Chain A
Amino acid sequence: MVKKRIIPCLDVKDGRVVKGINFLNLIDAGDPVEQAKHYSDNGADEICFLDISASLENRDTMINVVKKTANEVFIPLTVGGGISSIENIQALLKAGADKVSINSAAIKNPSIIKEASEYFGNQCIVVAVDAKKHNNDWFVYSHGGTKKTDLLALSWIEKAQELGAGEILLTSMDKDGTKSGFDNELLGKVSEFIKIPVIASGGVGTLDHFYDGVVKGKADALLAASVFHFNEISIKEVKEYLKDKNISIRD
């Protein structure tokens, strides 16, 4: 069967990797190409770049980062952050990205999912969803988690699937940054509800959190940023831990 994927996510600002907690007190943490290569050499199954540059010009810097990464890294690369048009997507794919993740632009204009997946194929369109629980329902947030929308996470995800999304990157805002584990309740509901793969994101802090994300959250892939950046857990450790527990993992 298909292996569960471990995906390190790198926050990239103005062409450099940055580290921080919740986008605050960012420190320069090196060259994204080198870091992507390092993760790839250490067993990452895919790489994710999240562009958090504030200006449009600096987004062009991302294109160059992607091009350079394509010279060195031969595993799938997803790029997200500020993607708002078919032209943005085309430029990134042409530069060597395999998938793009769309968030706020899809909320504002859902037809971009349909257009993009028809044009480029649904395999390269990831819809990123930031969700937060209010009473008993999860609501979707846009603009990097700063704006609450009226969309219910489950109905929005179902709609994204219908429009042609190839994959859902689901971040729990309640869990993000807490290191208390993924929101497995939310993940489990979404994973059972839809037919496309789900990437779990937000909250991982220990090795057993990865295991729970697969077993309780039924996620197809697990994304983490800070535990990998700050060398708290290595990708190798995660993979060995999961393999020991009989989760199907790539060697």
Chain B
Amino acid sequence: MKKITIVDYGSGNVLSAQKSFIKIAKDNNIDVEVLISKKINDVKNSTHIVLPGQGAFSTCMNGLKKTDGLIDELSEFALIKKKPFLGICVGMQMLAKKSEENGDHEGLGWIDGQIKLLPGDNLKLPHMGWNLVIPTNSKYNNLISTKNDYYFVHSYYFECADKDNILAETKYGTNFTSIVGKENIYGVQFHPEKSSSQGLNLLKEFIGV
């Protein structure tokens, strides 16, 4: 049975992510356990981890640090055991080495790159709404195979240091990375749990259904 843990550290609406996986399980007639938790043991026993994130980068990082040993256990899961890990929105951004949102802040540093403000003088921020996600990395497109619209809400973006980690791009003023990936670790800038059937499909791919 798949055991999915959505890491709970006080970030906004995490219920929708849980409901998405429950819906996928129901539609595909499979057994999953989906927890919203920050318990070390739950992380340890998971087959898949989702790291959500809403609000400011530093608030999210501090939220993670508040639970003793949580970051260590997540690192063990993603970097040592190399099990499937998905960051969503700020959860994706936290995979980077650092962010310039409200001063410099360190991230988890699992994927080389930094978080920067979307450039453009006449650009409305946050970038809010449905926008096209175009896969750019053909050897590495497990999450989405064709371009489609997904729902975004963010003002900062992931600037990858290594182009191989860019799995998909989206245009808002400039082209920015909307999916990052490195081995078993994925990050999506948009909200699959809020992106209708194509979003659910992405989550389905992530858990390998």
Contact = CB atoms under 8 A, between A and B. Distances in A.
A57 interface: no
Contacts, number: 99
A197 B131 contact: no
B15 interface: yes
Give the secondary structure class of A's interface. Answer: loop
Contacts of A118: 56
Contact of B172 (A2, A5, A67, A221): A2
Contacts of A121: 12, 54-56, 59
Interface in B6-39: 12-13, 15-16, 19-20, 22-23
B149 to A, nearest CB: 5
A93 interface: yes
A95 B16 CA distance: 9
A227 to B, nearest CB: 21
A197 B172 contact: no
Nearest to B55: A121
A218 to B, nearest CB: 10
A251 B147 CA distance: 12
Interface residues on B, range: 35 or more
B155 to A, nearest CB: 8
B184 interface: no
B19 A93 contact: no
Interface string A219-232: 01100000000000
Interface stretch (A10-18, A68-76, A152-160): A68-76
Interface residues of A, number: 35
Contacts of B47: none
A45 interface: yes
Contact of A94 (B13, B172, B194): B13
Given A74-B193, A76-B194, A123 B15 contact: no
Contacts of B127: 2
A119 B54 CA distance: 10
Looking at A93, A119, A121, the one whose CB has the most chain B CB atoms below 10 A away is A121
Contact of A250 (B19, B20, B55, B130): B130
Nearest to A43: B196
Given A94-B15, A97-B13, A251-B149, A74 B128 contact: no
B151 A75 contact: yes
Contacts of A196: 124-126
Interface string B125-141: 11111110000000000
A17 to B, nearest CB: 21
Interface of B: 12-13, 15-16, 19-20, 22-23, 54-56, 59, 124-131, 149, 151-154, 171-172, 191, 193-197, 199-200
Interface of A: 1-5, 40, 45, 67, 70-71, 74-76, 93-98, 118-124, 166-167, 195-197, 220-221, 250-251
